[in-house]
Amino acid sequence: MKTINLETGLPSARQAMDRLTNELYRIRAQGLPYAKVIHGYGSTGSGGAIKSELKRHVTVLRQRRLITGFIPGEDFGPFSASGRDAVARFRELRTDIDWGRSNDGISILILK
């Protein structure tokens, strides 16, 4: 799975979304069906700025037809419908280290 680490270099939330969008275009051009995004959870423990901005930015990514699905890390496992649907479509996702760990610091994006 292609991983996009949005925490590298400590960017602002806006810079991180620009990086994410550019990376998604590259990943899609490679024909890959999904990507893991590392956004962190924030040092305050109440959710980071990048994670919050990503949740808002998903709408833009869907409008641009870059993604068809978004699975927050806390739902990336067998106990959520979105997690089960993702592994039904892409069985190899089940082998990812974060599968079933409720990792709030990552998200999975399903590309178009």
User: Nearest-5° angle of CA 85, CA 50, CA 1?
Assistant: 40
pLDDT of the residue at 41: 82
Q: Which domains does the chain have, with CATH numbers?
A: 2-111 (3.30.1370.110)
**Residue 89: pLDDT band with limits 50, 70, 90:** very high
Query: How high does pLDDT run on average in the chain?
Result: 93
Handedness of CA 20, 90, 86, 68 (dihedral sign): positive
pLDDT tens, position by position, 29-71: 999 999 999 999 865 554 589 999 999 999 999 999 999 999 9
Structure tokens at 14: 């806006």
Amino acid at 24: L
Is this prediction's pTM over 0.85? yes
